[in-house]
């Protein structure tokens, strides 16, 4: 039986320090997770949840304002252990792990280390923002929603909501893959390309 082509699109939102200085020992923790599992080009599972931070459970005003997240939402979110378990179940079979930027995997790794938990994902990690940058020859990395707008589209839902951003990442992935295939397969020439009709018509004029 042919093995299914699987990809997991992930977006996390993190805690943020206050504008005026950092709290001692502060590090970013995942407070919202959006995960989209795709098999053979079809979404087979979506997951979205707030996550309760462990080390710094009280959100800064800057974090609440920027992400439009309340303290109550993260207080009632799943534990980090539950998030790791969920990722482990979704990543049991081989799959590419696709994110926009490299921060999601960096923070997940660090949070796992701090919590003494094994890193739950085994697949090859793809930073789609770098793929996008290389593909279009951009000097700078492009933001997720700016990238989708450059395609003349709109992002899914609301920016800085984890599941919406994960779905938007998947949306851009499909557009980039389509463009890659288009470049790899040159269009067959038509009879119009092979015959200069203007010259032909002049002959009979």
* Alpha helix stretches (DSSP H) within the chain: 61-67, 71-75, 80-90, 103-115, 128-136, 144-150, 162-184, 191-194, 197-204
* Residue from 78, 109, 99 nearest 35 by CA: 99
- Residue 127 per-residue DSSP state: E
DSSP-derived 3-state class of residue 57? coil
* β-strands 42-50, 6-14 pairing: unpaired
Residue-wise burial string across 27-53, b where 16 or more C-beta atoms lie within 10 A, e elsewhere:
ebbbbbbbbbbbeeeeeeeebbbbbbb
Task: Say which of 39, 82, 110, 160 is annotated catalytic.
Answer: 160
| Residue 200 in tokens | 């032909």
Q: Is 160 a catalytic residue?
A: yes
Q: Is 110 a catalytic residue?
A: no
C-alpha to C-alpha distance for 30 and 28, rounded to whole angstroms = 7
| DSSP percent split of the chain into helix, strand, coil, nearest 5 | 40, 20, 40
Task: Say which of 13, 29, 32, 171 is annotated catalytic.
Answer: 13
Catalytic positions are 13, 160
């Amino acid at each position: 039986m042919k093995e299914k082509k699987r990809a997991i699109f992930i977006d996390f939102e993190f805690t943020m320090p206050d504008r005026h200085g950092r709290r001692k020992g502060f590090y970013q923790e995942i407070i919202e997770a959006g995960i989209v599992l795709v098999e053979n080009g079809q979404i087979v599972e979506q997951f979205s949840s707030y996550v309760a931070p462990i080390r710094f459970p009280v959100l800064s005003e800057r974090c609440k304002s920027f992400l439009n997240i309340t303290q109550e939402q993260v207080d009632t979110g799943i534990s980090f252990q539950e998030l790791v378990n969920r990722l482990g179940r979704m990543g049991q079979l081989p799959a590419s792990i696709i994110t926009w930027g490299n921060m999601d995997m960096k923070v997940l790794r660090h949070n796992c280390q701090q919590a003494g938990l094994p890193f739950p994902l085994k697949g090859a990690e793809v930073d789609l923002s770098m793929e996008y940058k290389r593909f279009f020859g951009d000097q700078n990395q492009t933001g997720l929603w700016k990238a989708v707008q450059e395609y003349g589209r709109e992002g899914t839902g609301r920016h800085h909501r984890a599941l919406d951003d994960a779905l938007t990442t998947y949306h851009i992935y499909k557009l980039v893959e389509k463009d890659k295939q288009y470049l790899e397969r040159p269009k067959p020439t038509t009879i119009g390309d092979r015959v200069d009709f203007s010259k032909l018509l002049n002959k009979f004029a």
